[in-house]
Amino acid sequence: MFLYLLGIVVFCFLYRLFRERRTISDTFERYVYITGCDSGFGNLLARRLDEKGFCVIASCLTERGAEELKKVSSERLSTVHLDVTKSDSVSKVAALVKEKVGTKGLWGLVNNAGVTIPTGPCDWLSAEDYRAVLNVNLHGLIAVTLSVLPLIKKARGRVVNVSSILGRLCLNGTPYCVSKGGVEAFSDGLRRDMAYFGVQVICVEPGFFKTSMANMDFIQMHFEKMWEKLPEETKADYGNDFLEKVRCLMKKSEAMLDPDLMKAVSCMEHGICALHPRTRYAPGWDAKLFWLPLSYMPAFIADFVCRQINVKPRKSLI
């Protein structure tokens, strides 16, 4: 019986491996629109897909990011300025994409643009702090997707949404975790709605990687600015040594960041290139071996583990 079950598992694994190795052809005729290409995952993915022959439309927030990307890319790659929080900017780029793809439609959209700050405990934050992150990571992602969805349906293409493992497991109540949880829900709903039209929706949930968004010095600076604005009563709840403890935690966290961004980029690439992409990818060993399993644990276990990771306030009752 054991050997029978083992044989089934081995067969399923080999079949999945074979199925996932099959890729699409005619890449030179397919357009892919990627957001957040100034640096990090988006920049590397744009260059990678350009090398594979795709017609890449790379959106950048800064002129410098666009210029640097053009220097290392072929003439097929085009850059556009995009601010995902502004409807006029989203509509303008969507019109440009429609003009470029013509009757072929848009093969792929990769929603990669994102921000991590403001961040901090819930009682440090205002509704505006949440809006600042949600407007980029969630509302912007939805706006960009809907702006080109008819073009994706025409090509029977796919949407790749870059979420985070923190969309599955919320370490704390920071806007980043909340926004990525929304990306997970939107991806599920979009996948189910668009399956009728041959559109595939993929969600990539990276672990902790060493990107510009994970710059601990930058995050620490904003964290300290938020501390300065807090009422004395709130500061007393957390204790005068709270900031120093957070600094120590961030230094330890920085040492654990994975510098190999291609682990995540390869998953995004597979989502665009594979005939049968996965519904979800969790790049990074920390995501696969720790965060993802922890997300399936009972709440009291996940809560306990997260409390051991986070810095406790001075007036903690647990």
Query: Which residue segment(s) compose the domain that 104 sits in?
Result: 26-211+261-308
pLDDT, tens digit, for every residue of 175-217? 999 999 999 999 999 999 999 999 999 999 999 999 888 788 8
Structural domain contains residue 58: yes
pTM, rounded to two decimals: 0.91
Structural domain contains residue 194: yes
DSSP 3-state assignment of 243? helix
Structural domain contains residue 20: no
Structural domain contains residue 64: yes
Structural domain contains residue 239: no
pLDDT, tens digit, for every residue of 13-29? 665 666 677 888 888 88
Report residue 147 as tokens.
């702006």
Residue 176 annotated to the active site: yes
pLDDT at 314 over 90: no
110 forms beta bridges with: 34, 160
How many angstroms separate the CA atoms of 219 and 115, rounded? 11
Question: pLDDT band for position 12 (50/70/90)?
Answer: low
* Nearest Cα residue to 308 out of 234, 249, 223: 249
DSSP 3-state assignment of 114? coil
176, 238, 281, 296: the active-site residue: 176
Sign of torsion over alpha carbons 296, 281, 283, 61: negative
Q: Report the CATH number at residue 93.
A: 3.40.50.720
Burial 68-104 (b: 16+ CB within 10 A, else e): bbeeebeeebbbbebebbeeebbeebbebbbebbeee
How many angstroms separate the CA atoms of 272 and 274, rounded? 6
pLDDT, tens digit, for every residue of 278-289? 999 999 999 999
pLDDT at 315 over 80: no
Number of structural domains found in the chain: 1
